[in-house]
């Protein structure tokens, strides 16, 4: 039985994952200052996020599979090192092209780092320790985005946006040393070949889809090419000896249901987090710092209820807990849609913030548990890559759909009310998907 080292490996995993989440939030809260300091126009500024999303989303399947083949610790260190060096370069960027290029490299580091964090949990823990690790990992995934807005807002308001990136450097160096010292290398699949063609198709396909959503020009062309490359990718994976995404991952309907649920739950939450600070600043005239502090109404309940997921899982299955989370999310979005945002923060938004926080607390760790269900150690990295790919594309596509459907609505308040209806639809789809998992789980048991 593997030796349990819960005291140091888990913090290494969680802190490295939180760094990735915080990085996105710093960009959200610092766009105005970045634009001013580096003299970037709106189109160039959009590429600060787009460059990162393209590489991060496009390379996660490859990053996860590389960990299976060459060893999780080795890839974790490579991803962490690349992310840390790129963060340093972003912090010292002197113009638009430099920050865009370094953000793309950051995305490559994140694409290797994110799937290997989850795979390291599978390598180092078993049984109840593994389940507790999933709980903490899910808590970090949920809290990272909301707390990141607060921390990012504080950094941007009190110091400089550069600090938000430079802070990754000492943290990354410390994590690198701790990983070398305390995380055991594990075994790599020395004789397994990497599916180069499949890797190429997956990167081009996912990047094409993401660019069609986040890009500025040739979006339809990118969408068509993305779909073509994804079809070629699936065909390649069916015949490859060492696929980067073994199709057996999708033969388990419980895992598939968890992936679909994650896609829509994350799409709802990420879009909500993106729109709420804008609502508070444009309609309620909050400062960026006040808007960040107001999100504590979501972060605090999220933390409190996330600590109770382990106890709740003793009474309910993971699928039932996620179903509860999806139902709470539906109520939160319908609250906004029915009440409207014009009635002020405390009546219109405070309650939904609390409910979204509770929903995220109940969703993240059980979804991770369901996503890795019945996965063997040999494909742990691939499973992690799939989970993180659904997570990232759920964010990108979810937000893009909301923005597209509300773009032609003039006033911000009606646009947000419409967005709430769309987000309620996301939550309903997630609820339907996870209720099917509940049914399958009951039948299996």
Residue 85 covered by a domain: yes
Among 170, 194, 218, residue at a domain's last position:
194
Cα–Cα distance between 243 and 237 in angstroms, integer?
A: 5
Reported residue count of the chain is 445
- Return all residues near 375 (Cβ < 8 A) that are at least 6 apart: 122, 249, 255, 383
| Token pair recorded at residue 433 | 């998907």
35-49, 58-72, 77-91, 186-200: range with lowest mean pLDDT: 186-200
Q: In this structure, are 155 and 275 located in the same domain?
A: no
Q: What are phi and psi of 314, to 5 degrees?
A: -75, -20
Cα–Cα distance between 413 and 409 in angstroms, integer?
A: 9
Is residue 386 a contact partner of residue 249, using CB atoms and an 8 Å limit?
yes
User: 284: which DSSP letter?
Assistant: S
Q: In this structure, are 264 and 402 located in the same domain?
A: yes
Q: What are phi and psi of 100, to 5 degrees?
A: -65, -45
- Per-residue pLDDT band for 156 (boundaries 50, 70, 90) equals confident
Q: In this structure, are 120 and 250 located in the same domain?
A: no
218 phi-psi bin (left φ>0, alpha ψ -120 to 50, beta other): left
Task: Provide the angle, in degrees to the nearest 10, between the axes of the packed helices 96-124 and 127-158.
Answer: 160
Residue 63 covered by a domain: yes
Cα–Cα distance between 333 and 198 in angstroms, integer?
A: 39
Q: In this structure, are 256 and 371 located in the same domain?
A: yes
CATH number for 55: 1.20.1250.20
Q: In this structure, are 190 and 289 located in the same domain?
A: no
Other beta carbons less than 10 A from residue 157's beta carbon = 15
State yes or no: pLDDT of 40 exceeds 70: yes
State yes or no: pLDDT of 79 exceeds 80: yes
Among 194, 209, 236, residue at a domain's last position:
194
Residue 211 covered by a domain: no
Within 13 Å and on the Cβ side, how many CA atoms surround 314? 5
Residue 188: what pLDDT?
A: 60
Q: What is the mean pLDDT of residues 74-87?
A: 96
User: 194: which DSSP letter?
Assistant: P
- Per-residue pLDDT band for 386 (boundaries 50, 70, 90) equals confident
Please write the tens of the pLDDT for every residue from 227-277: 999 999 999 989 888 788 888 888 889 999 999 999 999 999 988 987 888
pTM of the model: 0.82
Residue 191: what pLDDT?
A: 56
Residue 210 covered by a domain: no
Contacts 24+ apart (CB under 8 A), 183-187: 183/9, 183/12, 183/73, 183/76, 183/120, 183/124, 184/73, 184/123, 184/124, 185/71, 185/73, 185/74, 186/71, 186/72, 186/73, 186/123, 187/71
Residue 123: what pLDDT?
A: 81
Q: In this structure, are 179 and 289 located in the same domain?
A: no
Q: What is the mean pLDDT of residues 98-111?
A: 94
State yes or no: pLDDT of 285 exceeds 80: yes
3-state secondary structure of 378: helix
State yes or no: pLDDT of 2 exceeds 70: no
Residue 218 covered by a domain: no
Q: In this structure, are 1 and 93 located in the same domain?
A: yes
Q: In this structure, are 256 and 139 located in the same domain?
A: no
Q: In this structure, are 113 and 261 located in the same domain?
A: no
Q: In this structure, are 262 and 154 located in the same domain?
A: no
Helix, strand, coil percentages in the chain from 3-state DSSP, rounded to 5: 85, 0, 15
Residue 444 covered by a domain: yes
Which carries the bigger pLDDT value, residue 177 or residue 381?
A: 177
Q: Which domain holds residue 15?
A: 1-194
Cα–Cα distance between 68 and 116 in angstroms, integer?
A: 9
- Return all residues near 361 (Cβ < 8 A) that are at least 6 apart: 139, 142, 301, 302, 303, 304, 305, 306, 308, 309, 325
Cα–Cα distance between 189 and 187 in angstroms, integer?
A: 7
Among 173, 194, 215, residue at a domain's last position:
194
Is residue 22 a contact partner of residue 192, using CB atoms and an 8 Å limit?
no
- The vertex-128 CA angle with 115 and 123, nearest 5°, equals 35
Please write the tens of the pLDDT for every residue from 332-374: 999 999 999 999 999 999 999 999 999 999 998 899 889 887 7
Residue 192: what pLDDT?
A: 64
Cα–Cα distance between 51 and 189 in angstroms, integer?
A: 32
Residue 234 covered by a domain: no
| Token pair recorded at residue 68 | 């299976």
Cα–Cα distance between 160 and 91 in angstroms, integer?
A: 10
- The vertex-387 CA angle with 384 and 392, nearest 5°, equals 120
Which carries the bigger pLDDT value, residue 281 or residue 319?
A: 319
Residue 214 covered by a domain: no
Residue 227: what pLDDT?
A: 94
Q: In this structure, are 178 and 256 located in the same domain?
A: no
Q: In this structure, are 282 and 137 located in the same domain?
A: no
Domain count for the chain: 2
């Amino acid at each position: 039985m593997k030796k349990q080292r819960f005291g140091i490996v888990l913090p290494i995993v969680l802190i490295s994952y939180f760094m990735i989440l915080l990085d996105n939030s710093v960009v959200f809260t610092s766009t105005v200052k970045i634009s001013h300091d580096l003299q970037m126009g709106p189109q160039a500024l959009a590429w600060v996020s787009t460059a990162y999303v393209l590489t991060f989303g496009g390379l996660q399947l490859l990053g996860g599979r590389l960990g299976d083949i060459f060893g999780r610790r080795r890839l974790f260190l490579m991803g962490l090192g690349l992310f840390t060096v790129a963060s340093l370069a972003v912090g010292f960027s002197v113009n638009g092209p430099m920050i865009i290029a370094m953000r793309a490299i950051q995305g490559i580091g994140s694409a290797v780092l994110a799937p290997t964090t989850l795979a390291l949990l599978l390598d180092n823990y078993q049984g109840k320790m593994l389940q507790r690790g999933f709980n903490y990992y899910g808590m970090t995934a949920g809290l990272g985005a909301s707390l990141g807005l607060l921390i990012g807002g504080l950094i941007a308001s009190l110091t400089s946006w550069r600090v938000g990136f430079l802070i990754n450097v000492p943290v990354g160096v410390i994590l690198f040393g701790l990983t070398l010292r305390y995380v055991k290398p594990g075994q790599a699949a020395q004789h397994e070949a990497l599916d180069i063609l499949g890797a190429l198709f997956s990167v081009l396909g996912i990047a094409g889809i993401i660019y069609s959503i986040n890009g500025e020009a040739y979006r339809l062309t990118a969408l068509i090419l993305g779909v073509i490359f994804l079809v070629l990718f699936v065909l390649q994976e069916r015949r490859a000896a060492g696929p980067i995404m073994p199709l057996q991952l999708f033969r388990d309907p419980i895992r598939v249901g968890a992936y679909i649920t994650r896609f829509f739950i994350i799409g709802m939450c990420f879009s909500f987090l993106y729109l709420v600070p804008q609502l508070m600043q444009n309609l309620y005239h909050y400062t960026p710092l006040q808007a960040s502090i107001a999100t504590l109404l979501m972060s605090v309940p999220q933390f409190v209820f996330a600590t109770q997921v382990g106890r709740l899982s003793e009474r309910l299955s993971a699928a039932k807990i996620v179903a509860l989370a999806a139902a709470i999310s539906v109520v939160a979005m319908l609250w906004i849609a029915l009440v409207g945002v014009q009635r002020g923060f405390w009546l219109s938004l405070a309650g939904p913030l609390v409910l979204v926080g509770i929903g995220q607390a109940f969703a993240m760790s059980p979804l991770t548990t369901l996503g890795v269900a019945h996965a063997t150690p040999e494909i742990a990295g691939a499973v992690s890559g799939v989970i993180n790919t659904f997570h990232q594309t759920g964010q990108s596509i979810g937000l893009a759909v909301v923005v597209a459907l509300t773009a032609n609505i003039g006033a911000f308040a009606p646009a947000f009310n419409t967005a709430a209806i769309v987000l309620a639809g996301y939550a309903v789809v997630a609820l339907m998907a996870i209720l099917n998992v509940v049914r399958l789980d009951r039948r299996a048991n």
